[in-house]
Amino acid sequence: MQKKICFISLGCDKNRVDLEVMINAFLSDGYILSSEEEAEVAVINTCAFLTDSRKEAIDNIFQIAALKNKKLEKLVVSGCLPNYESVENLKLMMPEVDLFVKIEEQKDIVNYVNQLYNEKAKEIDVYNLTERTSTTIGSVSYLKICEGCSNGCSYCTIPRIRGKFKSRPMEELILEAQKLIDKGIQELIIVGQDITKYGMDLYGEVKLCQLIEELSKLNLTWIRLLYCYPDGITDQLIDIISKNKKICKYIDIPLQHISDKILTSMRRKTNKEQIISVINKIREANSHIAIRTTFIVGYPGETRKEFKELCEFVKTYKLNNVGVFKYSREDGTIAAKLNKQVSGFVKAFRRKKLYKLQQKNLLLHQVNAINRVYECVCDNKVSDNMYLFRNQFNAPDIDYFIVVESQENLTIGEFYKIKIVDYLKDYLIGELV
């Protein structure tokens, strides 16, 4: 169909992958990519993980709906929001939306939109999980190896929204990765709600190590691992990260807390002793591996004692990158019903304090980087002579970056040798070698 279409992506990079598949499907059917102001069809792929995420989604929907007074004819909302809230309720709340598409219905989204224009369904399926239109800058892309989650953490809405954990077949993932590489991708970021469970449901055993070994045989530069739960990090996985030259010396481990009392209440499948053991094993295998994590402060029942324990852990283990989130009380979760809910003021105070402690750790890591030379990828050009780079110890969008000034015309997505010469609060300063 020859209609101008725009896409708005909200939420995580798993959502981004879903949207890239949808974009490719629409373009394959003849739709023409356009700006929001020129679009006749708008597709908003939403996040609903937290209350703030749902508010952002609804704000974006109403903002785009205002364009119906201009050229916009059809407004489509897909992704997590229609899975979190019933479509019937959403239609009452937002009658401006012409179509709500649940995650499991996205494979038919092109036909659904065509039907809004009284078009017959196509016999040829244009929706293909291994065919995507990239929305990332440079030579980086995300490979989603699994869907949903079965861990059952007490605070989390993911199982309600995306269902139980489901791995994708390895052959399909290898094919998708090769297609991305054929388009110029050199950094694959492996994502899933918990990638350390990959393969258990399909093959009867965890196959993450085998998968990344197979991916490393392809012609690419970096493979990065995000969201490895601590209870699933094996000695074999640590060994591969340490020794395989294509695997970034980087691992994202969502710890959420360190107090056994809080971890038990969160229904996490690990404890403080196991977490410390994993961190020590990683550093013993290779001291250069960067460890990133996230913590939740203000979880119900978190007293000064548990928060102090978390602060001491952050000060002692000096992780490379840390995200700190205030606990969000989500309807339908186990944690929402718990007593001893923490006030918003206390949550904000604790988040700020933990962030300050991590800033000291970050400063230490930045100082240690001075005068070192790294292979870095050019991520973006921000002015005539100013470029943003990353090394293998930093993931895009979530970690700090390296600023390089150069009179040369550098290529986005290419790799260069960069020497670190200085640092500022949230970034390093480098120069071409």
CATH number, domain with residue 351: 3.30.750.200
**Region 190-202: what's the mean pLDDT?**
97
Judge whether 45 and 9 are in contact, CB under 8 Å. Answer: yes
d(CA 91, CA 105): 17
Domain shared by 307 and 349, yes or no: yes
Q: Quick one: 288 and 216 in the same domain? A: no
63 has a pLDDT exceeding 70: yes
Length of the chain: 433
Kindly report the number of other CB atoms within 10 A of residue 19's CB atom: 23
In a domain, 122, yes or no: no
As a whole number of angstroms, the distance between CA 305 and CA 198 comes to: 36
Q: For the chain, what is the domain count? A: 4
Amino acid making up residue 284: E
User: Where would I find the H helices in 6-130?
Assistant: 13-28, 51-65, 80-84, 87-93, 109-116
Last residue of a domain, one of 220, 251, 282: 251
417 and 377 in one domain? yes
Give mean pLDDT, residues 397-404: 94
- Domain end call among 62, 81, 116: 116
In a domain, 306, yes or no: yes
- Alpha carbon distance, N-terminus to C-terminus of the chain: 50
Domain boundary among 219, 251, 283: 251
Nearest one of 136, 173, 161 to 57, comparing CA atoms:
161
379 and 363 within one domain: no
290 and 334 fall within a common domain: yes
Token pair recorded at residue 391: 């090394």
* pLDDT of 72 above 80: yes
pTM: 0.94
Give residue 119's pLDDT: 84
Q: Would you tell me how many other CB atoms lie within 10 Å of the CB of residue 98?
A: 18
Model confidence over 339-380: pLDDT tens digits?
999 999 999 999 999 999 999 999 999 999 999 999 999 999
Q: Say if residue 182's pLDDT is above 90.
A: yes
How far is it, in rounded angstroms, from Cα 415 to Cα 325?
33
* Average pLDDT score over the chain: 96
In a domain, 123, yes or no: no
Residue 274 lies in a domain: yes
| Residue 111 sits in the same domain as residue 152 | no
Model confidence at 38, in pLDDT bands (50, 70, 90)?
Answer: very high
- Flag whether 165 is in a domain: yes
Q: Is residue 130 part of a domain?
A: no
Residue 42, domain extent: 4-116
Residue 128 is assigned to a structural domain of this protein: no
Spell out a b/e string for 281-316, using b for 16 or more CB atoms within 10 Å of the CB, else e.
ebeeeeeebbbbbbbbbbbbbbeeebbebbbebbee
